[in-house]
Amino acid sequence: MSDGRRNRGSIFTGLLLIVLGILFLIDRFDPSFRLGHWIRVYWPLLIILWGVAKLIDHFLWQPDPGSRKPLLSGGEAALLIILAFVLTGFAFRDWLRDHYPDFALALPPFHQSYDETQDLEPQPVPAGAHIVIETERGNIKAHSGEGNSLVVHAQKSVLGSTELGAQGLLQGAHVVIETAGNEYRVHPVHQGPGRARVSVDLDVTLPKGVSVEAATGHGDIEISGISGNAMARSGGGDVSLTGVGSDVTVDLQRGDAKISAISGNVTLTGRGHDVELSNISGDVTAQGAFIGTLQASNVAKTLRCVSPWADLTVAQLSGHLEADSGDVAISGASGPAKLMTHNKDIRLANVLGRIEIVNTHGDVKVSYAQPPRDDLSITNDSGDAVVTLPASSSFQVSAISNSGEVESEFGQFLNSSNGSQRGQITGRIGTAGPTITIVTTYGTIRLNKT
Same domain? 95 vs 114: no
The bridge status of strand 395-402 relative to strand 406-408 is: unpaired
417 and 423 Cβ atoms separated by less than 8 Å: yes
344 and 327 Cβ atoms separated by less than 8 Å: yes
**330 within some domain:** yes
Domain boundary among 208, 228, 248: 228
- More confident of the two residues 417 and 78: 417
The angle at the Cα of 63, spanning 62 to 66, to the nearest 5 degrees, equals: 160
pLDDT number for residue 5: 44
pLDDT number for residue 208: 94
Same domain? 75 vs 159: no
pLDDT band at 18 (very low <50, low <70, confident <90, very high): confident
| Alpha carbons 78 and 416: distance in angstroms, whole number | 81
Same domain? 218 vs 353: no
The bridge status of strand 445-449 relative to strand 385-389 is: parallel
- More confident of the two residues 348 and 83: 348
| Alpha carbons 30 and 43: distance in angstroms, whole number | 20
Q: What are 198-255's pLDDT values in tens digits?
A: 889 999 999 999 999 999 999 999 999 999 999 999 998 999 999 999 999 999 998 9
| Alpha carbons 396 and 428: distance in angstroms, whole number | 4
- More confident of the two residues 430 and 75: 430
| Alpha carbons 37 and 21: distance in angstroms, whole number | 17
What is the 8-class DSSP label of residue 101? H
Same domain? 223 vs 332: no
What is the 8-class DSSP label of residue 442? S
pLDDT number for residue 197: 72
Same domain? 94 vs 22: yes
pLDDT band at 412 (very low <50, low <70, confident <90, very high): confident
Q: 3-state DSSP call for residue 317? A: strand
Angle between helices 12-29 and 44-60 (to 10 degrees): 150
Same domain? 29 vs 75: yes
Least confident of 66-70, 157-161, 404-408: 66-70
**373 within some domain:** yes
pLDDT number for residue 65: 53
Same domain? 429 vs 314: yes
Query: What average pLDDT does this structure show over 121-143?
Result: 94
* Ramachandran angles phi, psi of 171, nearest 5°: -70, -20
pLDDT number for residue 21: 74
Domain boundary among 213, 228, 243: 228
**448 within some domain:** yes
User: Is 80 exceeded by the pLDDT of residue 53?
Assistant: no
Helix, strand, coil percent content, the chain, rounded in steps of 5: 20, 50, 35
What burial class does residue 234 get, using C-beta atoms within 10 Å of its C-beta: 0-12 exposed, 13-18 middle, 19+ buried? buried
**279 within some domain:** no
pLDDT band at 196 (very low <50, low <70, confident <90, very high): low
pLDDT band at 113 (very low <50, low <70, confident <90, very high): confident
Same domain? 317 vs 422: yes
User: Is 90 exceeded by the pLDDT of residue 164?
Assistant: no
Same domain? 318 vs 445: yes
Domain boundary among 178, 201, 228: 228
Same domain? 191 vs 321: no
| Alpha carbons 206 and 183: distance in angstroms, whole number | 13
Least confident of 5-19, 288-302, 394-408: 5-19
User: Is 50 exceeded by the pLDDT of residue 110?
Assistant: no
**204 within some domain:** yes
The bridge status of strand 445-449 relative to strand 406-408 is: parallel
Which residue segment(s) compose the domain that 433 sits in?
309-450
Q: What are 115-129's pLDDT values in tens digits?
A: 888 999 999 999 899
| Alpha carbons 381 and 11: distance in angstroms, whole number | 74
**398 within some domain:** yes
**294 within some domain:** no
Q: Which of 261, 264, 296, 293 is nearest to 279 (CA)?
A: 261
Contacts made by residues 61-68, CB under 8 angstroms, sequence distance 24+: 61/7, 61/8, 62/5, 62/7, 62/8, 63/7, 64/2, 64/3, 64/5, 64/7, 67/7
- More confident of the two residues 61 and 256: 256
| Alpha carbons 310 and 353: distance in angstroms, whole number | 20
- How many independent structural domains does the chain possess? 3
What is the 8-class DSSP label of residue 64? P
Same domain? 120 vs 213: yes
Query: What average pLDDT does this structure show over 413-437?
Result: 91
The angle at the Cα of 350, spanning 348 to 354, to the nearest 5 degrees, equals: 80
What is the 8-class DSSP label of residue 13? H
Average pLDDT, the chain: 85
pLDDT number for residue 220: 96
In the chain, the largest separation of any two C-alpha atoms, in whole Å, equals 121
Computed from CA positions of residues 81, 84, 87, 93, in that sequence, does the dihedral angle turn out positive or negative?
A: negative
Q: What are 35-48's pLDDT values in tens digits?
A: 666 666 666 776 77
User: Is 60 exceeded by the pLDDT of residue 1?
Assistant: no
User: Is 60 exceeded by the pLDDT of residue 102?
Assistant: no
308 and 295 Cβ atoms separated by less than 8 Å: no
Whole-angstrom CA distances from 426 to 382, 386, 408, 436, 443 are 21, 15, 10, 10, 17
Q: Which of 149, 151, 154 is nearest to 129 (CA)?
A: 149
24: Cβ contacts below 8 Å, ≥ 6 apart:
35
Percent of the chain predicted with pLDDT > 90: 60
The bridge status of strand 310-323 relative to strand 337-342 is: antiparallel
85: Cβ contacts below 8 Å, ≥ 6 apart:
none
User: Is 50 exceeded by the pLDDT of residue 4?
Assistant: no
Q: What are 334-361's pLDDT values in tens digits?
A: 999 999 999 999 999 999 999 999 999 9
Sequence-ordered alpha helix ranges (H) in 267-382: none
Query: What number of CA atoms fall less than 13 Å from residue 43's CA on the CB side?
Result: 13
pLDDT band at 411 (very low <50, low <70, confident <90, very high): confident
Same domain? 85 vs 216: no
**363 within some domain:** yes
